[in-house]
């Protein structure tokens, strides 16, 4: 396994209720199986994934696993050498979803390239050719927020997600109102509070947002507050959960009837196939899945595009995050054009697009 650490600055830092994201740091991994390559990305983001240090430790175990670690584990269990080796890998990646994302993505990339099929076609029989995406608008003054919304609509987006919860609620209500006034009734508006509010503030927020035709409010309450979110759903604004999925098990979210929409970040869920499996379960439970990034580099962003393409009639996804980066690791194989992306048709994630980065 080859590894390549990277650091990317954001040209447009993303200000949320939970702080400002201004730089992304992670590792690319490249595996070679039977002469076929696969590339995957780990870009951890605490709050959703393990820390960078823990991600790198997990990848160290996997990197060594071809030789020393696997042999040691196997030698220690002579009767079940394969099971012991696999357990070593599983243990290393269990609490490291970003590291697991890199390894799973690389494996799926290699599999797709061996079979000559795009990643989305490994996940479903009938993937979409294009995926709708939303613009992501960070916290800023009402005027700046309205300007950013108008610029996004001018660029062809018909779905906008506005970050809220970083300042006072009155200011957020004003921000969303001036955005609605600027873009008119036909643009889909979402808001994302990143867990900023106590229950009472969240209730007030939902009631104030109800008249602004918000498609959904993402993560108004703390990640572990399942019953609080379940109760909020009855007030006229749909509730989406994001951070909750990284904090509690998926089963608990369904059992608590806590969400109308699930925000699926493959980086936080342990990989593209894991995220797609949650999307299928969500659909069966009558919950709508939306795929987003953690503001990742091109390899993870493109893998997430394939996940979205494997969900029938997926709503606009939070995948238009590449333009937030100052520079990327590679040219974007799935650039945003007028509010949607074309799913790369080459084998794997994007053919050989990322092979040369090592």
Ligand X SMILES: O=C(O)CCC(=O)c1ccccc1C(=O)O
**Residues designated catalytic:** 163, 265
Please identify which residue in 65, 103, 295, 325 interacts with ligand X, judged by CB under 6 A.
Answer: 295
> 3-state class of 102 per DSSP?
helix
In degrees rounded to 5, what are phi and psi of residue 85? -65, -45
Single out the residue of 136, 145, 244, 340 in contact with ligand X (rule: CB under 6 A).
136
- CA 173 to CA 176: how far, in whole Å? 5
| Stretch of 50-58, 100-108, 288-296, 332-340 contacting ligand X, by CB under 6 A | 288-296
Taking CB within 5 to 8 Å according to partner kind, which of ligand X, Mg ion, none is near residue 69?
none
Question: By CB under 6 A, which span of 33-41, 99-107, 117-125, 291-299 interacts with ligand X?
Answer: 291-299
Q: Which is nearer to ligand X, 80 or 144 (CB)?
A: 144
Among 192, 225, 260, 288, binds Mg ion (CB under 5 A): 192
Which listed option, ligand X, Mg ion, none, makes contact with residue 321 (CB within 5 to 8 Å by class)?
ligand X
| Residues annotated in a binding site for Mg(2+) | 192, 218, 242
**Nearest partner of 17 among 233, 290, 219, judged by Cα:** 219
Task: Confirm or reject binding of residue 43 to ligand X (CB under 6 A).
Answer: no
Stretch that binds ligand X, among 36-44, 78-86, 293-301, 340-348 (CB under 6 A): 293-301
Alpha carbon 250 to its chain's center? 15
Residue indicated by tokens 């806590």: 258
192, 225, 260, 332: which one binds ligand X (CB under 6 A): 192
Site for ligand X (CB under 6 A): which residue of 293, 308, 314, 340? 293
Q: Does 88 bind ligand X (CB under 6 A)?
A: no
Could you say which residues in the range 298-327 bind ligand X, by CB under 6 A?
Answer: 318, 321
Binding site per annotation, positions: 192, 218, 242
Q: What is the DSSP secondary-structure string of 260-304?
A: SEEEE-HHHHTSHHHHHHHHHHHHHTT-EEEEB-SS--HHHHHHH
- Which residue lies nearer to Mg ion by CB, 69 or 194? 194
User: Could you tell which of Mg ion, ligand X, none binds residue 302, using a CB distance below 5 to 8 A set by kind?
Assistant: none
Q: Give the C-alpha distances (Å, rounded to integers) separating 110 from 155, 198, 257, 282, 292.
A: 35, 45, 37, 28, 23
Structure tokens at 260: 């109308």
Confirm or reject binding of residue 242 to Mg ion (CB under 5 A).
Answer: yes
Give the sign of the dihedral formed by CA 204, CA 208, CA 211, CA 214. negative
> 212 in helix, strand or coil?
helix
Token couple for 325: 């980066």
The residue among 270 and 318 lying less far from ligand X, judged by its C-beta, is: 318
Binding at 136: pick from ligand X, Mg ion, none (beta carbon under 5-8 Å per type): ligand X
Secondary structure percentages of the chain, helix, strand, coil, to 5: 45, 25, 30
**Which residues are within 8 A (CB) of 127 and not within 5 positions of it... i.e. 6 or more apart?**
118, 120, 121, 306, 309, 310, 343
CB 21 to Mg ion: min, Å: 11
Among 218, 260, 288, 296, binds Mg ion (CB under 5 A): 218
Helix (H, G, I), strand (E, B) or coil at 232: helix
Residues in contact with Mg ion by CB under 5 A are 192, 218, 242
Q: Which residues bind ligand X (CB under 6 A)?
A: 21, 45, 134, 136, 161, 192, 194, 242, 263, 292-295, 318, 321
């Amino acid at each position: 396994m080859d590894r390549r650490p990277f650091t990317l600055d954001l040209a447009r830092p993303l200000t949320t209720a939970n702080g400002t994201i201004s730089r992304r740091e992670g590792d690319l991994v490249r595996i070679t199986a039977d002469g076929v390559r696969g590339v995957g990305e780990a870009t951890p983001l605490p709050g959703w994934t393990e820390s960078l240090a823990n991600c790198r430790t997990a990848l160290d175990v996997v990197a060594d696993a071809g030789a020393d670690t696997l042999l040691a584990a196997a030698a220690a269990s002579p009767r079940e050498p394969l099971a012991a080796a696999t357990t070593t890998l599983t243990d290393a990646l269990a609490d490291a979803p970003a590291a697991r994302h890199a390894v799973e993505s690389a494996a799926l990339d290699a599999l797709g390239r061996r079979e000559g099929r795009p990643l989305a076609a490994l996940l479903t029989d009938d993937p979409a050719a294009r995926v709708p995406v939303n613009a992501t608008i960070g916290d800023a003054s009402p005027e700046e927020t309205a300007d950013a919304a108008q610029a996004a609509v001018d660029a062809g987006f018909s779905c906008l997600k506005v970050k809220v919860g970083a300042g006072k609620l009155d200011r957020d209500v004003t921000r969303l109102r001036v955005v609605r006034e600027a873009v008119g009734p036909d643009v889909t508006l979402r808001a994302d509070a990143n867990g900023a509010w106590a229950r009472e503030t969240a209730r007030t927020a939902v009631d104030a947002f109800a008249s602004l035709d918000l498609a959904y409010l993402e993560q108004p309450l703390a990640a572990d507050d399942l019953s609080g979110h379940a109760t909020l759903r009855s007030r006229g604004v749909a509730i989406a959960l994001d951070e909750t999925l990284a904090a509690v098990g998926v089963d608990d979210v369904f059992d608590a009837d806590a969400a109308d929409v699930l925000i699926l970040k493959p980086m936080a869920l342990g990989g593209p196939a894991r995220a797609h499996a949650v999307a299928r379960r969500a659909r069966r439970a009558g919950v709508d899945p939306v795929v987003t990034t953690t503001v990742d580099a091109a390899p993870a962003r493109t893998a997430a595009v394939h996940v979205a393409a494997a969900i029938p009639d997926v709503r606009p996804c939070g995948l238009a995050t590449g333009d937030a980066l100052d520079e990327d690791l590679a040219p974007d194989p799935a650039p945003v054009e007028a509010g949607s992306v074309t799913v790369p048709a080459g084998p794997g994630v994007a053919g050989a697009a990322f092979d040369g980065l090592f």
